[in-house]
Structure 1
Amino acid sequence: MISGLYQGQDGDSRLELRVDVDGTRPTGRVSGDLFTVSGATTGYTGSFVVHAPAVTAGAVEGRGAFTYETGDQDVRVTISGESGTAQVAGRTYPITFVSRHFRKVLLEQDSVAGAVPFVSYDTGSLPGPAGSPARELSVAAAWAEAGIELTVAEPGVIPVDGAGADLAWDDAELHHAMTQQFSRFGDAAAWRVWLLVASKHVGGYRGIMFDYGDAHQRQGAAVFHDAIKGDSPQAQRAMLRTYVHELGHAFNLLHSWQKNLATPPQPLGPSGGFGDLSWMNYVQNYQPGGEAGYWAAFPFQFTDSELVHLRHGFYRDVVMGGGAFGSGAAEPAPFEQPVEDLSGLALELRAKESFGFGEPVVVELRLSCTGEPRTTHGHLHPDTEFTQVTITQPGGRTVLYRPMMRHCVDSSPRIRLDAGNPAMYRSAYIGHGRDGHYFQQPGEYHVRAQYVAADGSRVVSPPCLVRVRRPVGDDDHRVAELMLGEEQGQLFSLLGSDSPALRSGNLALEEVIDRYGGHPLSVYARLVKGLNAERGFKALTPGNRLRVRPPDAKQGVEQLAEVARMGGIDNITLNLVMRRLARAEARQGELRKAHAVMDAMVATFAAKGLNPIVMGQIRRQAELTKSALSAEA
């Protein structure tokens, strides 16, 4: 057998060569990464892959696809024993065998005290597909079967100081924790990734790959122990899948139903991708048969196309801190309406009449049934990526909105849409994402969305017109400058953060409040500051301890009350603001005021003339909030 990783050097050029023509699940490819050595430094030069090489005794050769221009695209590898030569781009490298694994990655894993990390699962513990051998699979062993050597650094345990009973993490806290705790976090591409085993997420998720906020992404992921813990074989099996799944995103693997957004766009597998037997599919969405069908057929492995990406994807498309998640994807066309749509569902996007320049662009998504009752999942917000949004900019270019934080939802509660509950609604901030700000110039934008339903149907919305007004006067210009910074966009996505890494953004929002407090856009600065103050914030200290900044109820009341008074925000966000305002009042011991805020919320929305079904939901929500706050008091 000759497959594996080889290394060699010719002068100042270093080659890492991957031969994959025999052995376990060979993909029939040869690929490599080239680096330039200069003194004590090494820089990346480019990559290549030979997709269908000719294999003869002791030789593998073919024409390569390169990431850079070269006059000689022929690649020839000759191997005898554990050494040989590789002719690449006109140079000849003496090569030496290094490993049967094709790539090596360092995993630095830390856990919060009380969250017990997964160890291993015996795949023979529960019935599985015929032909899939029973074996003991740790996370590292699962990746080894894909040809990736995952070395786990000495795990760390993060003590908890002053956290009380609430150990729920939000996206802002996770991002801050990575920047403080991951010893190898940095603005560079490298084969290393951080995994935090936390207690739980405020959204109830099982896992999240949360590092999308800068030019060096995919370095951090988290799994949530409270959502996946258990000693039963079923729980251990699910834990293994969650760990491997989240780390798969760090290697730039998309969900199974999103492969058409990859680079180059890949064909979707059976049932629009939901039929893939892959770590990257969602168990409950598998077709046919849902969760039971998935586990009965899943052989605990990646698909063939995913193996090709992991083993032979170009360096920057795979390495952590390299290309952005999904980077290099072909520019998407606006979603086309299906030729035939029997889904019984309709998707609609709504936006306010116009937005000020620099104003956070928020759209409302409405999914409804068009006739007979329909049951589907409730993941309508684009941060779960069951819903995708395209934005056609004034110049005609179409871009895919990619949220800064995207959540993996391993559970999908079913929503029934019928006469008593004809539609569900979500509010989504789409002004900023992994690619920065999307609405950076005045003009007309056309926004369209696609929702992937529980049965795989792709429901497309009509285009929604979003107008961004030109600034008028010096105050408009200055406020827009203060709102459109990169850190400010991240703060809007995170709904605030204490992280020192976002200090400049927080200072800019404070300047909006202090100097331009009467400007209509100041309501958004108050929104971010108020929501962040009203909640506690977890931070990892340099001494590797977890400390919690308690909620600042007084500051929360001050800012959120002003947000409610000023208005200008969408209804769903206003609903959130008033419920959080009520919680802040209750935390100050003002339970009567908290109840009054809920009564005011009902009156506010009744005055807007909302339909009776929605008003009924709001009234129930207000009463439930009152009851919860009274119980806490």
Structure 2
Amino acid sequence: MARYTTLFGGYHVAEQVIESDEDGSLALARMLAGVPSGAHGIRVDAPSPAVPLGDLDGCWLLELQGAAGNGAVAIRGSARIEVAPGRIRVSGDVYVRPQDGANAASLSLEEMVDAARFGAHWYPQLPFDEYSWYFRSLGTVYDAGKLAVRFERHLWNGVTQEFISRENSGKDTGYMEFDLSGATRHADPALPQQTVAIAGNAILGGETYTARLTKTSPCYRGCKIEVDVMAGRAFPVLAGDGGVAMDFTDIYRAAGMDCTVHIDERTVPSDGALSAIELANALATHRSPAHAGSAWRLWMLIGSAHEDNFGLMFDDTAPHREGVCGFFDMQLPDHPRVSGLVRKQKIGNVPEAFLRTLVHEAGHAFNLFHPKHDVHGVPLGTSIMNQTGDLMMFATEELPFPANIDFAFDDHSRASLIHSPDPQVAPGWKRFGWGHGSLASGVNEPVDAAGLLATREECDGLDLVVVLPEVAYRGEFVKAEFTLTNAGSQPRTVPKGLNLSGGNLRLLVKPPHRELDDVRDLIVACGDRPAVLLEPGQSLHGVAQVFYTNTGFTFRHTGRYQVSAEFDLGDGSRNVVRSQLCTIVIRAPVTQAERRIAHLSLDAAVGKAFAFGDFGVDEAARDRLEVLAREFGASPNGVAATLALANSLGRDMRDLRTGRICRKADSAGAAGHFTAAALAHGTDQVELVRMAMAIVAPTEPDAPVVSMLDAYTGKTPHATAASGDRAGAAGVELAGAARRLFKQCRRSLGRSRADQP
């Protein structure tokens, strides 16, 4: 067969007739059409088109113009055409903006190119507020120099910032056809290089439009990565893969994503241990401004250590999914499945392992799930989006970690990077988890005959119980208690992280009149997944605040919510333990006190303070917490506020850029708030343990409140004891049950420094 090199580095083998269905499958499309699989061979009698099949692959600028003009409306966006062996698939995102003398098009061609230029290539990345619709192919035909695409279109509601879900008004179908034989070489001073343009027509809503495609890149999307490095650490520039050196950019380009890395700063002041609130504050303040607001960008910090995590992705507030961290100083475990050359080494000193971690965390910022948590049944293995602990599970003594790393994305993750809608993929847009199957808003992805992951088998011999209040008012602080019990006759090894951050545990919440929510913590934490052995009858306990989570205010509407918990065993079997369904009814606040508490608490900054157990440097949030603690100290919200204040004031907070302390610890203030929380519970010290462990960020087993509670339960003399009968009563050691619960809940948070050698 003749093989021809094309303009963008692809290839063309004669001309083929290509027919594809919704997921790009050729054989299925032929079968559905009643055509034998081998009927479409190579047509040697057809002239070679101006644009070979290989050159269609990549990103295109799509522009639409009505027959009588668009009424001064600019309609343009991106079209992504994926051409692979046995597959052709098309998707795209369209942005619309009225333009007249006073309201010109948002970005000129030159501005679009400059905003998202990657060397000789660029990507149409337009302002989020102009987003109008998403499309993906239902069937594609490439034949005789023509490309025909039948597609479904999903309309976007700019007010709600969601796709319109009603079938009759939110989704329709359309058709586009392009004459490849009439393609032209296109040159423009604004373009980084000469390219190719193709003219055609589109039919949408009964109207016919002229359409134009202009090739922008052989990749499908692009994102600029800004990296700041803490002093004494380094970004892994190269890593080996089977003897071939590769870097961050190579890995993403192989998946169709153009990611350029810019090291912005190499001397971020060193800090041996970073708190969650310091990292969150750094994300909000530590980025260089983008060239244009519409350009996709991601901030990455190479930091020291954060408890037992290799990396984190923050999703605490808008703009969502814009920052990730990799922790250079975290040690690899001393395990037979880890190469003896790297055991107990800092992960940052092992380029293969650290590079994989950073690519993985960036994948979360592009809204990719761990395979074991994806509803589409993505196989576990050694690909990029598997957790490090999973890779170690698949390692052997003959092929230990990190030699077993596969520096590639699984097919499902790669398809999402290329074809999922912009709001789902773009850093800074929708929350983590949005658009994934039926568990969130967005466009549901096509599924194969296996269906969704709801069919995962349940594990015998383990019981999971979740406890929530039966009734709460809107705005009331809510915590969930989890208990995992070995109900079998044999010991069982399970992940010890019974919290909503580590990835093994999640809540499935069905709000009134809405689809199911996949509820997790604001922090997506990735580590080596420590395990614990449960003897028969033994239990693992955990407590989590579920007032403010990845869905925002979890119980923000009144009505009846159905809730269940699901715990992944993490052993490669994909088996889970499910709790019984429980119900929580959210009513309206009735009394004046309830309405006041709700008003103070239903503030995003307060919700974030409850989730992190720290108000950071947000003085407005601190003021609200102080009012809750002072005026409503005996209520759940008042106790939560008091403990958040104690935790915040119990430690210094540093600005990572300058290294200076931006909030000094106030030991006396912290002790006073903790004592007030203890007094609010009187003799019910078990409830104090539950509240304190709920208010601590699940990645911080050594947070100040944990240390105070440890001292208060009798391990060391109570640090907050004071003179007087009242203080003496508050300083009495907790009952044995409270002490045991504290130890169990602390273990579920992660590996405390007290547990490390």
TM-score w.r.t. length of structure 2: 0.69
Say if 1:184 and 1:192, in contact at 8 Å, map to a contact too. Answer: no
Of 434, 459, 462, 1:327 maps to 434
Assess if the C-alpha contact under 8 Å between 2:471 and 2:587 holds in 1: yes
Give 1:404 deviation, angstroms. Answer: 4.6
Residue number in structure 2 paired with 1:594: 719
Secondary structure of the corresponding residue to residue 309 of structure 2:
coil
Shift of 1:514: 3.7
How far the C-alpha of 1:64 sits from its partner, in A, is 1.1
The 3-state SS of whatever aligns with 1:153 is strand
Which residue does 1:539 correspond to in 2? 655
Contact 1:343 1:457 in 2 (8 A): no
- In structure 1, the residue matched to 2:132 is 45
Give the aligned length: 583
In the alignment, is the contact (CA less than 8 A) between 1:178 and 1:185 conserved in 2? Answer: no
The DSSP-based 3-state class of the residue aligned with 1:227 is coil
Moved more, 243-252 or 568-577: 568-577
Alpha-carbon contact 1:582-1:594 (below 8 Å) kept: no
Aligned partner of 1:143 in structure 2 is: 252
Q: What's the % identity of the aligned pairs?
A: 24
Q: CA deviation at 1:328?
A: 3.2
- Residue 420 (structure 2) aligns with: 313
Summarize the Cα distance change of 1:418–1:491 in structure 2 as closer, same or farther, 3 Å threshold.
same
Letter in 2 for 1:436: G
**Counterpart amino acid of 2:58?**
G
- Identify the match of residue 274 of structure 1 among 367, 380, 385: 380
2:309 maps to 1:205: yes
Structure 1 residue identity aligned to 2:249: A
For residue 197 of structure 1, report the CA deviation from its aligned partner: 1.0
1:98 aligns with 2:185: no
Counterparts of 2:462 and 2:593, CA distance in 1: 44
Which position in structure 1 is the counterpart of 2:61? 7
> Please, which of 230, 234, 237 is the counterpart of residue 352 of structure 2?
237
SS in 2 for 1:412: coil
Work out the CA distance in 1 between the residues paired with 2:743 and 2:364: 40
Q: Which residue of 1 aligns with 2:526?
A: 409
Question: Following TM superposition, by how much is the alpha carbon of 1:189 offset from its aligned partner in structure 2, in angstroms?
Answer: 5.7
C-alpha contact (below 8 Å) 1:390/1:398 kept by paired residues: no
Q: Give, in whole Å, the separation in 1 of the partners of 2:549 and 2:268.
A: 32
SS in 2 for 1:200: coil
Q: Supply the distance in 2 between the matched residues of 1:119 and 1:615 (Cα, whole angstroms).
A: 43
Q: CA deviation at 1:444?
A: 5.2
Mapped partners of 1:319, 1:492: distance in 2: 27
**2:91 match:** 31
* Aligned-residue offset at 1:566: 1.0
What amino acid does structure 1 have at the position aligned with 2:320? Q
Amino acid in structure 2 at the alignment position of 1:259: D
Distance 1:518 1:29, change over 3 A: closer
Alpha-carbon shift at residue 519 of structure 1 (Å):
5.1
User: Residue in 1 aligned with 2:673?
Assistant: 559
Q: Aligned-pair distance for 1:483? A: 1.6
d(CA) in 1 for partners of 2:732, 2:668? 23
Matched, 1:227 2:330: yes
How much does 1:85 deviate?
A: 2.3
| Distance (whole Å) between structure 2 residues aligned to residue 461 and residue 417 of structure 1 | 18
RMSD over equivalenced CA pairs, Å: 3.9
What is the CA distance between 1:205 and its match in structure 2?
0.6
Letter in 2 for 1:183: S
Residues 614 and 94 of structure 1: is their aligned pair in 2 closer, same or farther, counting only changes over 3 Å?
Answer: closer
Task: List alignment gaps of at least 5 residues for structure 2.
Answer: 1-53, 66-73, 108-129, 156-169, 186-195, 333-344, 441-451, 697-703, 723-727
1:152 maps to 261
Q: Which of 78, 84, 91 is the aligned partner of 1:16?
A: 78
Deviation at 1:63, TM superposition (A): 0.7
Within the candidate set 589, 596, 605, 2:735 is matched to 605
Task: Evaluate the alpha carbon distance shift between residue 362 and residue 583 of structure 1 in structure 2; reply closer, same or farther with a 3 A threshold.
Answer: closer
Matched to 1:431, the amino acid is F
Partner residue, 2:21: none
* 2:261 is the counterpart of 1:196: no
Paired amino acid for 1:168: A
2:152 corresponding residue in structure 1: 65
Structure exhibiting the larger radius of gyration computed from Cα positions: 2
Contact preservation (8 Å) 2:374, 2:453: no
Structure 1 contact 210–406 (Cα < 8 Å) conserved: yes
How far apart are residue 294 of structure 1 and its match?
7.8
Once structures 1 and 2 are overlaid, which stretch shifts more, 83-92 or 203-212? 83-92
1:563 deviates by 0.8
Does the Cα contact within 8 Å between 1:61 and 1:75 map onto a contact in 2? yes
Shift of 1:571: 3.0
Q: Distance in 1 between matches of 2:439 and 2:77?
A: 34
User: Shift of the alpha carbon at 1:531?
Assistant: 0.7
Are the equivalent residues in 2 in contact too, given 1:4–1:18 (CA < 8 A)? yes
**Residue in 2 aligned with 1:127?**
none
Residue 297 of structure 1 deviates from its aligned partner by 6.1
- Cα distance in 1 for partners of 2:265, 2:626 equals 37
Q: Matched residue of 1:349: which SS? A: strand
Give 1:86 deviation, angstroms: 4.4
Residue pair 1:368, 1:422 contacting (<8 A) in 2 also: yes
Q: 1:526: Cα distance to partner?
A: 0.8
- The answer to whether the 8 A contact 1:172-1:496 is kept is yes
Q: Distance in 2 between matches of 1:54 and 1:619?
A: 58
Residue matched to 1:484: 602
Instruction: Find the aligned partners of 1:614 and 1:518 in 2 and give their Cα distance.
Output: 22
* TM-fit CA distance, 1:454: 2.3
2:374 equivalent to 1:285:
no
Higher mean C-alpha displacement, 552-561 vs 475-484: 475-484
Structure 1 match to 2:538: 422
Asked if the contact 2:228/2:268 (under 8 Å) is kept, the reply is no
Corresponding letter in the other structure for 1:120: L
What are the within-5 Å matches in structure 2 for residues 470-481 of structure 1?
471-481=589-599
What are the Cα deviations for residues 535-575 of structure 1, in whole angstroms up to 9, with x where unaligned? 2212246xx55545342211110101111121274534446
Counterpart of 1:386 in structure 2 is 504
Query: For 2:330, what is the secondary structure of its paired residue?
Result: helix
Q: 1:304 corresponds to which letter in structure 2?
A: D
In structure 1, the partner of 2:409 is 302
Q: Unpaired segments of 5 or more residues in structure 1?
A: 125-133, 261-266, 586-590, 629-633
Deviation at 1:17, TM superposition (A): 2.5
Structure 1 residue 309 displacement after superposition: 1.4
Taking the aligned partners of 1:321 and 1:616, their CA distance within structure 2 comes to 38
Measure the CA separation in 1 of the matches of 2:731 and 2:535.
26
Post-superposition Cα deviations, 1:110-140, rounded to whole Å, max 9, x if no partner, equal: 112222111110212xxxxxxxxx4221111
Aligned-residue offset at 1:51 = 5.1
